[in-house]
Structure 1
Amino acid sequence: MTAGGTGHAEADRGDKGGVRTALAGLTTRGRSFLAAGIAAAICAYVLGQSDLLRVGLLLAVLPLVCATVLYRTRYRVAGSRRLSPARVPAGSEARVHLRMDNVSRLATGLLMLQDRVPYVLGPRPRFVLDRVEPGGRREVSYRVRSDLRGRYPLGPLQLRLTDPFGMCELTRSFSTYDTLTVIPRVEPLPPVRLSGEAKGYGDGRHRSLALAGEDDIIPRGYRYGDDLRRVHWRSTARYGELMVRREEQPQRARCTVLLDTRGVAFAGAGPDSAFEWAVSGAASALVHMLERGFSARLLTDTGTAVPGEGADGFAGASQESADAAGLMMDTLAVVDHSDGTGLSRAYDVLRGGNEGLLLAFLGDLDEEEAAVVAKMRRRSGGAVAFLLDSEDWVREPTDVSGPLEESGERLRMLREAGWTAVRVPRGASLSELWRQAERERTSTGAAGRTSDGGGWS
């Protein structure tokens, strides 16, 4: 059974120990008939009653015959599964379509279909299918939903066969399963604009570079389809072959989304925890920046990025941007707390990078880690931090003691270093904080107006 409905699988035959398997499938009725038949046969032998012996043999043979027939016909059914969709945001529903095909020349009896699903997706679905004619098919579906991110296996599919007399039931499992990916919630963000940025291309000291491209006078060999107006005749005469000027390569604005995953930085768990808000915020920011034409990359406190991601991240506003967003969402679907206690690894990665926009979703920071984050601003054209005080997310609303003052001190340190730092209260909307960051950055002039990619949209 495979996603997409193109694959089929047959139930496992289980030929080894066939007699034992068949007898193990006897129902209470079948076992009762077998026991009554054996008892009647013994009594008939002791009493010398031939009629009672025939009755006993009939009672004993009937469940055995049913088990044998059922055992030999149980694996002539094929099944397939299709997920719609296979990737779903947390809190949304996906539908699972099951299809059963009778590939034998005989009609089936009563079938009970059961699919294995993790408990977080809902109750285990069960379906009763009536007689399926030779070459016939039956289709059923059920819905799954999870408020928690992750990858959840669906299957293997179990098929329970029974005979018309209810003497025997055999359960067989299909050998394959599918995976449902529950990605973080993505919140649409408003198209705010800072530092004159437009559509993912930097403005300021690199404006001419972004709009006109790098001055590259090195020619290359002619390729089929090149415009003849770009032929570089001097190089053609020099090399003895047709040479053309290289196309200008505009420099795309870059954005790095830093996600703090340290276990010590977040308290609480569940879909409404501070960590889940940070993951959802990072996902929303990545999708938004890709849609705006930025080259976006995801970075965690461990210094790791998305597999297959280039040095500048995934390019947006292209045919591959949807695939890039999918890869990032798949990564965020399974991201978990790290064992690290610091952000130095992420700083090492950013220190060797280029100047672009830096968006950080941070948990609790002590003074030392706040100083590390403050230094990250030096290698970024613009820096916006969303700072979560995890204790604020787990304590009672009436308790407004100490930690708020500590988080306020961390905000002050980041702002003095040039960050646009925004505190994230419990249950806050990222779109509102997005606008708040724009207002604060505009009013304080902390944007680094002469940066590549310093603006954001």
Structure 2
Amino acid sequence: MAPSGSPSGLRTGLAGLTTRGRSFLAAGVTAVLCALLLGQDALLRVGVLLMALPLAAALLLLRTRYRVASGRRLSPHRATAGQEARVHLRVDNVSRVPTGLLQLEDKVPYVLGPRPRFVLDRIEPHGHREVSYRVRSDLRGQYPLGPLQLRLSDPFGMCELTRAFAASDVLTVVPRVQALPEVRLRGEWSGQGESHTRTIALAGDDDVILREYRHGDDLRRVHWKSTARYGELMVRREEQPQKARATVLLDTREIGHRGTGPASSFEWAVSCAASVGVHLMERGYEVRLLTDTGRCVPGPDGGVNSVAEASGMLLDALALVDLSEGGSLSRGEEALRAGGEGLLVAVLGTLDEGQTARLARLRRRTGTAVAFLIDTETWSGLRMLAPDTGGAEIRARIRQLREAGWTVLPARAGDSVPELWRAADRAGSASTAHREEADA
């Protein structure tokens, strides 16, 4: 939309009078009244002049005929929490006359900083001006930018009219993603078709998937037994490599986390889930994000064509995820029972004995299972004041999950996600257990 300076009535012009313009108008009215009461013609002329200046300025702005258009570009379009993003604005004069003084103001949420304001001098016909400003947020989320407001003013500062563009953009602030080291998880499957090959071998020769011979097929793949049965050449179908699947379960229960703001245990959990999810995607996994509420990303009907697209969907979902009011992980557990094959990485807050027991039983329905078990008391400061408080309880949860076959990584305030992930390596399991015994 291109704002226009076409006339819209005297009322609009009077509403746009500045403090200076209103003062001149009030002074002129007062002078005219006094001149009429006192019979002073000179004072009457002064009053008329004072009234005419702001009215003439308003009329001049209302009759302005030039038109301008704007555009906005974000760099980057998806920013990381704590990272600055730059917003580029472009204003084009699409009319045949030069513009006057233009004041730009972009509408920005207070979380991203103060509203940027710019003053542009004369723009030649069919010319343009470009300005930019920076925004930054430590909080995840999606923040609207715009619409851009354009203020027109006269040379004497008597009147200002505001025109707003309709277009706006959205800046997505995603959680921090940390690069994780390459590890070999216990029982991990590479997902390159080995399981499929073993299944065919165990099923027997009669269960081999076949199709008709096509020109160019390798004769070594001809299945002679089926060829004799059907009377035409039949070949073994090529094995379709299976892609390894992984599920990242994020505990969003409000009662399971401590702390507030960017330094809370929940924000650490979100960043951990983002780091693990992106890392697994880069390794070739088909990753889905699952929360305790049962929400799954991508959904059952959402096909993803590339790693970049899948990572973007995951990060966009984590940018908007919030604490839930639920007290259990039951909905997430139901989703895992429905399709819990492959690698499972759970980022868990505080668990009670019943929840831990259900997760322990759930391990039998999945492949490799890794749990980041957050010691939330270290985020509230209670553990620093009383080191023995709650220590025995979390150690019992760790032991219970490990006995069920989980690889458990205890997470405390200040712990590094890459270091914890390195401990998930089969070679690092012993060191993890040793560290836990030492901390006990």
Report the TM-score when normalising by structure 1.
Answer: 0.84
Does the 8 Å contact 1:78/1:101 carry over to 2?
yes
Deviations 1:142-189 (A, max 9, x none): 111111110001111111111001110112221121000001110100
Separation in structure 1 between the aligned mates of residue 432 and residue 86 of structure 2, nearest angstrom: 49
1 or 2 for the larger relative contact order (CA 8 Å, sep ≥6)? 1
2:23 corresponds to which of 32, 42, 49: 32
Deviations 1:198-251 (A, max 9, x none): 755487xx38449999975232696xxx84448979999999999875432122
The one-letter amino acid of 1:140's match is V
Q: What pairs with 1:248-263 in structure 2 (closer than 5 Å)? A: 248-263=239-254
Does the 8 Å contact 2:187/2:367 carry over to 1?
no
SS in 1 for 2:293: coil
- The reply to whether residue 298 of structure 1 matches residue 293 of structure 2 is no
* Residue aligning to 1:168: 159
Query: Alpha carbons of 1:407 and 1:49: their partners in 2 closer, same or farther (altered >3 Å)?
Result: same
Separation in structure 1 between the aligned mates of residue 294 and residue 38 of structure 2, nearest angstrom: 86
SS in 1 for 2:318: helix
Of stretches 36-45 and 168-177 in structure 1, the one that deviates more from structure 2 is 36-45
Query: Alpha carbons of 1:392 and 1:15: their partners in 2 closer, same or farther (altered >3 Å)?
Result: farther
The one-letter amino acid of 1:112's match is Q
Q: What pairs with 1:171-320 in structure 2 (closer than 5 Å)? A: 171-195=162-186, 200-201=191-192, 206=195, 208-209=197-198, 216-219=208-211, 227-229=216-218, 246-309=237-300, 320=306
SS in 1 for 2:55: helix
Residue identity over aligned pairs, in percent, reads 59
* Residue aligning to 1:435: 422
* Residue aligning to 1:452: none
SS in 2 for 1:252: coil
Structure 1 residues not aligned, in runs of 5+: 1-8, 447-457
Does the 8 Å contact 1:258/1:361 carry over to 2?
yes
- The reply to whether residue 403 of structure 1 matches residue 390 of structure 2 is yes
Of stretches 391-400 and 156-165 in structure 1, the one that deviates more from structure 2 is 391-400
* Residue aligning to 1:338: 324
Query: Alpha carbons of 1:213 and 1:327: their partners in 2 closer, same or farther (altered >3 Å)?
Result: farther
* Residue aligning to 2:63: 72
Does the 8 Å contact 1:189/1:284 carry over to 2?
yes
Does the 8 Å contact 1:11/1:75 carry over to 2?
no
Separation in structure 1 between the aligned mates of residue 288 and residue 4 of structure 2, nearest angstrom: 44
Does the 8 Å contact 1:219/1:232 carry over to 2?
no
The one-letter amino acid of 2:2's match is E
Query: Alpha carbons of 1:418 and 1:196: their partners in 2 closer, same or farther (altered >3 Å)?
Result: closer
Query: Alpha carbons of 1:26 and 1:91: their partners in 2 closer, same or farther (altered >3 Å)?
Result: same
2:312 corresponds to which of 317, 326, 336: 326
Q: What pairs with 1:411-450 in structure 2 (closer than 5 Å)? A: 411-439=398-426, 442-443=429-430
Query: Alpha carbons of 1:201 and 1:244: their partners in 2 closer, same or farther (altered >3 Å)?
Result: closer
Deviations 1:362-406 (A, max 9, x none): 000011111111112111111110011222211153431422221
Separation in structure 1 between the aligned mates of residue 116 and residue 353 of structure 2, nearest angstrom: 52
- Quote how far apart the aligned CAs of 1:43 are: 3.6
Of stretches 246-255 and 124-133 in structure 1, the one that deviates more from structure 2 is 246-255
Query: Alpha carbons of 1:20 and 1:169: their partners in 2 closer, same or farther (altered >3 Å)?
Result: same
Does the 8 Å contact 2:186/2:425 carry over to 1?
no
SS in 2 for 1:271: helix
* Residue aligning to 2:107: 116
Separation in structure 2 between the aligned mates of residue 356 and residue 101 of structure 1, nearest angstrom: 54
Query: Alpha carbons of 1:418 and 1:440: their partners in 2 closer, same or farther (altered >3 Å)?
Result: farther
Query: Alpha carbons of 1:176 and 1:109: their partners in 2 closer, same or farther (altered >3 Å)?
Result: same
Query: Alpha carbons of 1:13 and 1:260: their partners in 2 closer, same or farther (altered >3 Å)?
Result: farther
SS in 1 for 2:249: strand
Structure 2 residues not aligned, in runs of 5+: 434-440
SS in 2 for 1:365: coil
Of stretches 166-175 and 328-337 in structure 1, the one that deviates more from structure 2 is 166-175
Query: Alpha carbons of 1:10 and 1:241: their partners in 2 closer, same or farther (altered >3 Å)?
Result: farther
Q: Which structure features the higher share of helix residues? A: 2
Query: Alpha carbons of 1:293 and 1:443: their partners in 2 closer, same or farther (altered >3 Å)?
Result: same
Deviations 1:89-145 (A, max 9, x none): 111111000111122222222221111111111121111111222222111001111
Report the TM-score when normalising by structure 2.
Answer: 0.87
- The reply to whether residue 89 of structure 1 matches residue 80 of structure 2 is yes
